[in-house]
Amino acid sequence: MVAANGGETPRLLLMSESARFPDGLANGSGLVGKYLMANAHSRTEAFFDQPLNEYKSVQVTRIVHDFYESDPARGFYGGGGLDGRGFIQASPILFSEMGLPPGSPRWGKAHKDLLRHNFTRRMSVLGSCTSLAQASNNITLDPELKDAIGRPAMRMTYSDHADDLAMATFLQDRAVEIMEAAGANTVWREPVERTNVLAHLLGTCRMGDDPETSVVDRFHRSHQVPNLFICDGSSLVTSGRGQPTMTIQALAFRASEHIAKFAKGGEI
């Protein structure tokens, strides 16, 4: 069983080439490493008159589900939710580095006064949404760069689909409305930009019934190698709306039941 996430799993398979598997283990379809997905995001910040003390608790994910479903009326595909208590307010250092509005003093007494007054009076809302599966987003082996023991380094190629960026902007618009309705005295937007940090690596060993268009079957079993099961986020064919851990866990429990059944039946 391989469960090294959507980055290291395809890297391991691609490095495991042989005469039988010249393009990498279980890569008969050529799709190992393809269709990398993450989640698009947007961030909205606000200051309030009264202390909120949001730093004392943890991030609250998906507190708004109103926009989870895709709506053709928006003019683009996608859906997502809004999180409260974004990670920026976890510490004064992150707040000072990443959580201040444009034009804020960045040094000296004015900077410290701003931090002292507003650290307890701020709110961060994170919009988390879809990441459309695209073959152009992928994990490959770097042809030149090696790791510390001489193995090919992972090379990641990724660019958000325009619809995902549009959905992230749409969620930011809704977050601004919520902040203003809640009485914020200052609201600002962090720029919605193409992703350059990925937290959830999904989709690089996609599941499917057809061995020509997928890497594993519906039981997470490699189409090419019956004794190989891939049980991590790489099997997903859609990104959902973020926070995929529980889905991955549920699929792993399901796969383990089938593995036990296969073993009992002498198929492994």
- Which residues make Cβ contacts (< 8 Å) with residue 116, sequence separation at least 6? none
pLDDT digits (tens, 9 = 90+) for 10-68: 999 999 999 999 999 999 999 999 999 998 999 999 999 999 988 887 777 778 999 99
Is pLDDT at 88 greater than 70 in this prediction?
A: no
201 Rama class: left (phi>0) / alpha (psi -120 to 50) / beta: beta
Q: Do both 179 and 109 map to the same domain?
A: yes
Angle at 80 between CA 77 and CA 86, to 5 degrees: 140
Q: Do both 131 and 31 map to the same domain?
A: no
**pLDDT score of 235:** 97
Rounded Cα distance, 258 and 29, in Å: 23
Residue span of the structural domain in which 141 resides: 40-193
Q: Do both 211 and 81 map to the same domain?
A: no
Q: Do both 33 and 44 map to the same domain?
A: no
For tokens 């152009």, what's the residue?
Answer: 136
Q: Do both 230 and 250 map to the same domain?
A: yes
The domain total for the chain is 2
Q: Is 264 exposed, middle or buried (0-12, 13-18, 19+ CB in 10 A)?
A: exposed
Q: How many CA atoms lie within 13 A of 152 on its CB side?
A: 18
This prediction's pTM: 0.91
The residue among 166, 193, 220 that closes a domain is 193
**pLDDT score of 87:** 64
Q: Do both 244 and 183 map to the same domain?
A: no
| Mean pLDDT along residues 68-88 | 90
Q: Do both 114 and 46 map to the same domain?
A: yes
| Mean pLDDT along residues 220-226 | 96
Q: Do both 154 and 232 map to the same domain?
A: no
The residue among 193, 211, 239 that closes a domain is 193
Q: Do both 209 and 134 map to the same domain?
A: no
